[in-house]
């Protein structure tokens, strides 16, 4: 091979890689725009497109599909999609995000069995803070315990973020509700509302 052919080959390779990167970025933006605009039929067609499947990572495509089902409140499809995503090869970060999404979904649905399943899966990640946060949510919203009041009130004193304070006040209110203490529950619910 002469130097001209090598240079031509390298330039062609670089150009093709640049085109692929630009195409993937454009395709991703199209998909995310459809999701954001809640154009679910068009989104589904785009996710099932052969070109999309060929160029975008499968996890990303299926994760967008999951978010579409969540936005549409399609519980049966959400569950099936979670199963699909759990079986797909993914990075540690993707796995952690997926597990927390599934856990939070089942907390909202008050599904004790599935919450505890995902809590156990989160424990396997060896991310102590993530597990601790999930455990607190499970204790309060699923197991109806009231064992984190002081801890959360102490956290509130150390943060400036009003949205985070609102969440912690809400969690304290729920614990008082779990104890059938309506007065303190209302007191902290009002504090949550003031910090939104």
What tens digit of pLDDT does each residue of 66-81 get?
999 999 999 999 999 9
What tens digit of pLDDT does each residue of 21-51 get?
777 788 888 899 999 999 999 999 999 999 8
- 181 by DSSP, 3-state: which? coil
User: What pLDDT shows up at residue 163?
Assistant: 92
Largest CA distance in the chain: 85
Which residues, given as ranges, of the chain have pLDDT below 70?
1
Please list, in sequence order, all residues whose beta carbon lies within 8 angstroms of the beta carbon of residue 16, skipping any fewer than 6 positions away. Answer: none
**Token pair for 130:** 């993530």
Which residue in the block uniquely carries the two structure tokens 């999609």?
Answer: 81
What is the reported pTM?
0.83
């Amino acid at each position: 091979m002469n130097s001209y052919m090598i240079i031509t080959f390298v330039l062609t390779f670089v150009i093709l890689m640049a085109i692929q990167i630009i195409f993937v970025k454009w395709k991703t933006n199209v998909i995310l725009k459809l999701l954001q605009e809640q154009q679910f039929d068009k989104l589904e067609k785009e996710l099932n497109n052969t070109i999309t499947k060929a160029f975008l990572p499968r996890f990303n495509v299926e994760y967008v599909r999951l978010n579409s089902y969540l936005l549409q409140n399609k519980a049966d499809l959400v569950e099936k999609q979670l199963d699909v995503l759990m079986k797909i090869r993914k990075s540690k970060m993707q796995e952690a995000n997926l597990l927390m999404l599934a856990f939070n979904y089942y907390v909202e649905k008050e599904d004790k069995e599935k919450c505890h399943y995902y809590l156990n899966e989160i424990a396997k990640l060896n991310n102590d803070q993530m597990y601790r946060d999930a455990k607190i949510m499970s204790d309060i919203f699923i197991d109806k315990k009231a064992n984190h009041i002081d801890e959360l009130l102490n956290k509130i004193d150390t943060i400036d973020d009003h949205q985070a304070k609102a969440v912690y006040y809400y969690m304290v209110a729920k614990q008082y509700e779990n104890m059938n203490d309506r007065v303190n529950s209302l007191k902290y619910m009002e504090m949550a509302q003031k910090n939104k």
